[in-house]
Amino acid sequence: MNQWFGFFKKEWFESVKTYKLLLVVVIFSILGILNPFTAKITPVLLEQFMPAGTIMDLPEPTALDSWLQFYKNVPQMGLVVFILLFSTMMSKELEKGTLVILLTKGLRRSTVITTKYMMAICYWTLAILLSFTITYAYTAFYWDQSTLQHLFFAASCLYIFGLLLIAVTLWGNTYFATPYGGILVTFIGMIGLFITAIFPQSKSWNPLELATAPPQLLTGDLLPADVFVSYLLTLGLTLVFVVLTVVHFKRKLV
Amino acid sequence: MQINNVTKQFGTHEVLRDINLNIPEHTVFGFVGANGSGKTTLMKCMLGLLPLTAGSISIAGECVTFGETRSNDYVGYLPDVPEFYPFFHARQYLELCAVITNMPKSERMTRIDELLELVGLVDTKSLIGTFSRGMKQRLGIAQALLNRPKLLICDEPTSALDPAGRAQILSILQKAKTETTVFFSTHIVSDAVQICDHVAMLHEGTIIFQDELINLQQQFSGQFIYTFTIPATEAMEQLQNLPFTMRVDANTLLVTLPDDAARLTFMKELTRQKLIVQSMQPQTKLLEQLVLEVLG
């Protein structure tokens, strides 16, 4: 086992011991169940809570409603919780000084960053897979999903957007070396993306499109080609932030 | 290890000024200095954890560079407060260290067993998170010795330990001398006196003195402390015709008697003057005195 896998194994062990695995599995499983459940139950609830005598003509829920819940819950709740869980990846080590001994033993600084990022990617993959699979299976149980378009590509958009946010969080967390550094940078970054989205011209390249476009992709109002530039730009930015983190950490005093 | 003209500044504040040190192999080198004198800064520079403002450091012929430095292949480091992953057992942590130092798999288990035995943690089954300060310090020494370093750097290894813990650590460091060179900093002078071959003192960023401990002791050898049944000042007056250097300090008479002949002459004169000696001892706490003199 070489140095990279050795440290990666430590990251895995740590994440299990600090209940990250348990939390991710529980949270994203609940979200997976919640999506079709909310779609199914919402019309019933609305009817129950309306004043007596009110006549409502609600359409029957469809598979699309279930997936709309997915693209509302996973980015708004799941991704936020995920970022919070992984927001102290570096600062915890830097504050406690647990890396000092290992760095003086020859642990490469790039290994520290890449293993931590890779571990976060593994967890994000698990989170999306879990939530997606449960939503898919549960939705298939109630409704026909054949009318939905680009189902997997739409999910990949959200996945890629998550990779960018994790990279930004890791950079902020390494740069400021405080637990709030990563969250703050990501929060400011998100505000920046939202402000940019005000301008219609940015629609063709804004990474935020990857989080907002999936419902339109499912209905066919948008084609994968329409978010192609955003997709590539997000991947590129992700790489840039990971490289920036490595470069910064190589010069950082520990 | 050679440290040549090392200067380190943080902004405009000069922490180390023109430091020169040469540490011989297989010795225990004590690096003495008050808190805040720059000992930890110099050690971090030696490990490539801090960039130098000027000068150079080389270990086993490799020049130390900031960041990832190849010279660390020859170094083991024990920080003043070693921090470990609390969810590991001692053995698991050492296994991680062995992987990071690229130690061959065939050697790992034997070496880890050997070191756990040396530091007395072989039967410890609890997680590191539950370790006492002394146990962490011992695990710190084990990890530092893991890759058989040519130089073991220990930053104040005994400073926060109780007497039993201090004795254990000093004994381990003494044993380590057979396979490595030990460079350890301390502000507890008696620790340095106990196990060091060489001593250097850092004060306000500069080396005040450095020498073999035995040479430092010889500078003061021949000094004896006498107490009498009468005040030391009166005794000194009666002995003032003797050609020896004498001074009174806290009702004791400090006399320099460089050889046996001088000592015999002095004893005869004491008898002749009918001065009754209450106690007599050679001057021993020399390093401590030197340090106290420097610190004012």
Report the relative pairing of strands B151-155 and B75-78 from DSSP bridges: parallel
Does the distance separating the beta carbons of A3 and B67 come in below 8 Å?
Answer: no
Residue ranges matching CATH 3.30.70 in chain B = 220-295
Determine the average pLDDT of the residues in A62-82.
94
Nearest Cα neighbor of B95 from B120, B60, B128, B65 is: B128
| Pick among B15, B59, B62, B99 to test the A interface (most A CBs inside 10 A) | B99
A154-168 average pLDDT score: 97
> pLDDT digit string (tens) for B51-98?
999 999 999 999 999 988 999 999 999 999 999 999 999 999 999 999
On the question of pLDDT at B221 being above 70, the answer is: no
* CA separation for the pair B93, B124 (Å, rounded): 13
Which chain B residues contact residue A18 at CB under 8 A?
Answer: 87
Beta-bridge partner residues of B202: B207
Residue among A177, A67, A80, A43 at smallest CA distance from A131: A67
- Report the CATH superfamily, name and number, of domain B2-212: P-loop containing nucleotide triphosphate hydrolases (3.40.50.300)
- A160 Cβ neighbours under 8 A, 6+ residues apart: A210, A231, A234, A235, A238
Nearest CA in chain B to A248: B67
Residues 6+ apart with CB under 8 A from B98: B108, B111, B112, B146
Chain B CB within 8 Å of residue A192 CB = no
**Confidence band, pLDDT 50/70/90 cuts, at residue A16:** very high
CA distances in angstroms from B186 to A100, B173, B284, listed in the order given: 20, 13, 19
To the nearest whole Å, the CA of B141 is away from the closest chain A CA by: 11
In sequence order, what are the beta bridge partners of B89? B127
The whole-angstrom distance between A214's CA and the closest CA on chain B is 41
Q: Specify the pLDDT at position B128.
A: 97
Q: Judge contact between A65 and A104, C-beta under 8 A.
A: no
Q: Report residue B244 as tokens.
A: 């020896």
pLDDT tier at A115, thresholds 50, 70, 90: very high
Q: Which amino acid is at A170?
A: L
B206-212, strands of its sheet edge to edge: B75-78, B151-155, B181-186, B28-32, B198-203, B206-212
Classify residue A54 by burial, with Cβ atoms within 10 Å: 0-12, 13-18, 19+: exposed
Residue of B nearest to A96 (CA): B83
- What is the full DSSP assignment across B86-103? TTSBHHHHHHHHHHHTT-
* Cα A176 from Cα B149, distance rounded (Å): 34
Among candidates A13, A98, A105 on the partner chain, residue whose Cβ is nearest the Cβ of B100:
A105
Cα B287-B205-B216 angle, rounded to 5 deg: 20
Supply the pLDDT for residue A143.
Answer: 92
Residue B220 confidence (pLDDT) above 70 = no
Above pLDDT 90, what percent of chain A?
86
Distance, CA of A28 to CA of A51 (rounded, Å): 35
Q: Above 90 in pLDDT, residue B187?
A: no
CA A34/CA A180 separation, integer angstroms? 30
Domain(s) of CATH 3.40.50.300: residues in chain B? 2-212
The predicted-structure confidence for A40-56, as pLDDT tens digits, reads as follows 888 888 777 777 777 76
Q: What are phi and psi of B198, to 5 degrees?
A: -120, 150
Domain B220-295 coded CATH 3.30.70: yes
Query: Residue B26 has what DSSP assignment?
Result: T
State whether B72 and A104 contact (CB < 8 Å).
yes
Q: In this model, does residue B296 exceed pLDDT 70? A: no
Per-residue pLDDT band at B35 (split at 50, 70, 90): confident
Which of A194, A188, A190 lies closest to A175, judged by CA? A188
Domain ranges of chain A: 3-251
pLDDT cut 70: percent of chain B above it: 94
Rounded-to-integer distance, Cα B10 and Cα A16, Å: 40
Nearest CA in chain A to B148: A105
Mutate to test the interface with A, among B8, B71, B83 (most CBs of A within 10 A): B83
| Tokens representing residue B91 in the block | 């053995």
Predicted confidence (pLDDT) at residue A13 exceeds the cutoff of 70 = yes
From the CB of residue B235, how many other CB atoms can be counted at a distance below 10 Å? 24
Cα–Cα distance measured from residue A234 to residue B91, given in angstroms and rounded to the nearest whole number: 42
Instruction: State residue B281 phi and psi, 5-degree precision.
Output: -150, 150
| B295: nearest Cα among B159, B200, B203 | B203
Of A1, A14, A100, the CB nearest to B85: A14
Instruction: Tell me the average pLDDT of chain A.
Output: 94
**B266: closest CA of chain A, how far (Å):** 57
Residues of B in contact with A251 (CB under 8 A): 67
Q: What pLDDT shows up at residue A108?
A: 95
The answer to whether residues A89 and A116 touch, using CB atoms and an 8 Å cutoff, is yes
Residues pairing with B153 in the sheet: B77, B183
Q: Which two tokens stand for residue B263?
A: 């000592």
> Cβ A10–B96 below 8 Å, yes or no?
yes
pLDDT at position B179, please? 87
CB proximity A100 to B under 8 Å: yes
Q: How many CB pairs under 8 A join A and B?
A: 72
Question: How close is the nearest chain A Cα to the Cα of B259, in Å?
Answer: 50
CA distances from A254 to B85, B105, B115 (A): 16, 29, 27
**For residues A155 and A132, is the Cβ–Cβ distance under 8 A?**
yes
pLDDT in tens, A197-210: 999 899 889 999 99
Whether pLDDT at B193 is above 80 = yes
The residue type at B253: L
Residue A1 is predicted with a pLDDT of 61
**Average per-residue pLDDT for chain B:** 90
Contacts of B97 in chain A (CB under 8 A): 101-102, 105
List the single best residue of A98, A104, A254 to mutate versus B (max B Cβ within 10 A): A104
Distance from CA of B126 to the nearest CA of A (A): 15
Beta bridge pairs of residue B215: none
For residue B51, give every residue at least 6 positions away whose Cβ sits within 8 Å of its Cβ, in sequence order, or none. Answer: B45, B66
